[in-house]
Amino acid sequence: MHPALLSQLNTARLERVAVAVLTDLSTGEKRLVHANDVDDDPLAAELETRFRSGKSGIISVDTGELFIQIHAPSLRLVVIGAVHISQALFPIAQACNFDVTVIDPRTAFATKERFSNVTLEAEWPEEALKETILDAYTAVVALTHDPKIDDIPIRAALDAECFYVGALGSNKTHGKRLDRLRAAGVTDDVLERIHAPIGLDIGAAGPAEIAVAVMAQIIGVSRRGKSA
């Protein structure tokens, strides 16, 4: 492997861009393909399938075996609200290899004592989200019940096509939320992407069980798509 290619690969990973590294296993020749450049590639169909599934593997080509390795960005979870559920949720998400950021402008909630060992931003989401870039490999959960805090990041998550957007609140609370977002110009097909009431329906009681239900739903969507 040429060091220049290794450097390009690490840069792409750092910038959270999905790339594939193709290795001809008989010659050792390698090349790197960005997910955005797949259309122009001679292996477009194969690469497209691989990028979608995230699966690396060997395929047969004229020269022999070609190893395709997909480097997709790691999944992230952005939690809006440094609330009790968030305290239970962040260690579960970390155990599932998610990089977690907790955001809450209320400094009484967003304390290091309540949230040690996790990235904590005691700022308004609109400020914090200038640093934490949302993308298709990010899940966003809004847990404050407070429209002043939740609505803007929910909107931002939908705009950024985050793979999962969930919001805490009863059907009634969510109904009002939908009204506000509709009034702000978000269309119904986009609003349907919000998971609310949040979490798998397992009869969860209390913060820890709700956190499990939320994490299970996020994993379901990441592995199986929207229907989870």
Partner 1 sequence: MTEKAMTERDPLVLAESWHKAGKGVAMATVVETWGSAPRPVGSHLVIDADGNFEGSVSGGCVEGAVVFEAVEAIETGKPKMLEFGVADETAWEVGLSCGGRIRVYVEPIVGEN
Binding characters for partner 1, 88-107, by CB under 8 A (x = yes): -----------x--------
Binding characters for partner 1, 38-57, by CB under 8 A (x = yes): -----------------xxx
Which stretch, 21-29, 83-91, 172-180, 219-227, contacts partner 1 (CB under 8 A)? 21-29
* 16 binds partner 1, rule: CB under 8 A: yes
Of the residues 35, 38, 76, 77, which one makes contact with partner 1 according to CB under 8 A: 76
| Angle, alpha carbons 70-27-20 (nearest 5°) | 10
Q: How many CA atoms lie within 13 A of 23 on its CB side?
A: 13
Nearer to partner 1, 3 or 185 (CB): 3
Closest C-alpha to 90, from 203, 207, 168, 222: 207
Closest C-alpha to 211, from 119, 81, 103, 122: 81
DSSP state letter for 74? P
Q: How many CA atoms lie within 13 A of 126 on its CB side?
A: 6
Which stretch of DSSP H or E encloses residue 9? helix 3-14
> 129 CB contacts (<8 Å, ≥6 apart)?
78, 103, 153, 156
* 205 binds partner 1, rule: CB under 8 A: no
d(CA 184, CA 117): 36
CB of 3 to partner 1, least distance (A): 5
Whether the CB-CB separation of 88 and 207 falls below 8 Å is answered with: yes
Residue type for position 178: L
Of the residues 17, 67, 160, 180, which one makes contact with partner 1 according to CB under 8 A: 67
Whether the CB-CB separation of 121 and 138 falls below 8 Å is answered with: no
Which stretch, 66-74, 108-116, 120-128, 179-187, contacts partner 1 (CB under 8 A)? 66-74
* 4 binds partner 1, rule: CB under 8 A: yes
Of the residues 45, 58, 136, 202, which one makes contact with partner 1 according to CB under 8 A: 58
Nearer to partner 1, 50 or 195 (CB): 50
* 28 binds partner 1, rule: CB under 8 A: yes
| Per-position DSSP letters for 161-175, written without gaps between them | T-SEEEE-S-HHHHH
Of the residues 13, 145, 180, 193, which one makes contact with partner 1 according to CB under 8 A: 13
**Interaction residues for partner 1, span 113-152 (CB under 8 A):** 119
Which residues of the shown chain bind partner 1 in the complex (CB under 8 A)? 1-4, 6-7, 9-10, 13-14, 16, 23, 25, 28, 55-58, 67, 69-70, 73-74, 76, 99, 119
